[in-house]
Structure 1
């Protein structure tokens, strides 16, 4: 069944209907899952640049850039859903699909968190270290998930900080920072973004630990 047919005939598709409809439209216009995955990197790069320059411009421009970064992060999350819909339900699973699905996300995480960290360096020179820490730990969560698969286990998604949660936390922080910058409360800007990086670092470290523990227990139980 094609995406168009599923949207029209599957009553259970109601909660995902708008995404199915959008995926069907993109397919009709020649979009591919791999192309959407690469487009998500572009959105993340723009978000990272927006974070970086937002704190170096006059406040009204900075607030707009922060809002724009939140929109880009929402777009990235949508792309992550649409590429899977096109691949699985649209019959467009490619031989290198797993590479295009997973590798771009690792780069996208780094582009976002490094943009936040280096954007804060004029006020807090050590903030770039937090950006690097968040980037490396985000990659670590994916590494441990893939490690479990490489051991012949099911995919382990335990932990409080998967990709979706990381992006939502960063987008919410961007909205708070935009409001603070527009109102002239610079402390709100810095602490909102720092809090997001801190939550992501702690949450990603916990996620790595929980996934490793689950993998070890499953292997030892064999």
Structure 2
């Protein structure tokens, strides 16, 4: 059972970092449940999406707008840290629950949607781009679920899995939060840095879905009775 749990987890090197190992242990000792951590990740994700959307309602290059960009970047990373810790507390901390898988997946889908749709409403992007990126992200996750359903296991191949999607959004938000005005075009209604970020997520997501589908199809063909 332990091997199965390990094989179904996203391979993350940071899971072996001493900092996160100690933090997960302390959280587990404090009695915090993995499901509560999963819910907190959704709160962070929705907050990030709101901060991204608010950039279009603040004055260009104002302190308030830059604060929204940087707060969004921080909240995206807090969402990922919560995603990391819920699994560590559940498995390494021995606090798995019968409905843990639901808490692991549903908040992730809500967070992805909130962040990407929020990015679409941000300065330098378009709402349709955010919705398209969210649909692609949901489809990528759906393909991974198909793999688990047919026995191929959780297929985590990229190049635009959850961590990469969030890295792109974080980088774009940080750049927009710190770069001089002359380096961040499209604050006048055109497409800019965040639009490029969403385009990368869409294209990378399509490639990711195709790669995962090909791997799943290959498994199914090899498993077919001769």
2:88 is the alignment partner of 1:85: yes
Instruction: Report the RMSD for the aligned CA atoms in angstroms.
Output: 1.9
Question: Displacement of 1:25 after TM fit?
Answer: 1.8
Query: Paired residue for 2:119?
Result: 116
TM-score of the two chains, using structure 1 as the length reference: 0.87
- In the superposition, relative to structure 1, how do residues 214 and 15 fare at CA in structure 2: closer, same or farther (>3 Å)? closer
5+ residue gaps in structure 1? 1-12
Report which of the two has the higher share of helix. 1
CA contact (8 A) 2:184 2:193 kept: no
Question: Displacement of 1:18 after TM fit?
Answer: 0.7
User: How many Å separate the matches in 2 of 1:157 and 1:22?
Assistant: 25
CA contact (8 A) 1:23 1:82 kept: yes
CA contact (8 A) 2:53 2:122 kept: yes
How many pairs align?
Answer: 205
Query: Paired residue for 2:209?
Result: 208
More displaced 10-residue stretch of structure 1: 35-44 or 182-191: 182-191
Query: Paired residue for 2:167?
Result: 168
Query: Paired residue for 1:27?
Result: 28
CA contact (8 A) 1:176 1:188 kept: no
- In the superposition, relative to structure 1, how do residues 154 and 21 fare at CA in structure 2: closer, same or farther (>3 Å)? same
How big is each residue's C-alpha offset from its partner over 1:153-190, in whole Å with a ceiling of 9 and x where there is no partner?
2221122011011111100000111124x646551665
CA contact (8 A) 1:177 1:188 kept: no
User: How many Å separate the matches in 2 of 1:14 and 1:139?
Assistant: 24
Query: Paired residue for 1:194?
Result: 195
More displaced 10-residue stretch of structure 1: 85-94 or 28-37: 28-37
Query: Paired residue for 1:10?
Result: none
Query: Paired residue for 2:152?
Result: 153
CA contact (8 A) 1:148 1:215 kept: yes
Q: Which segments of structure 1 move beyond 4 Å, counting only runs of 4 or more?
A: none
Question: Displacement of 1:55 after TM fit?
Answer: 2.4
Query: Paired residue for 2:176?
Result: 177
CA contact (8 A) 2:173 2:194 kept: yes
How big is each residue's C-alpha offset from its partner over 1:118-162, in whole Å with a ceiling of 9 and x where there is no partner?
224xx66xx111101100110111100110111122221122011
Query: Paired residue for 1:97?
Result: 100
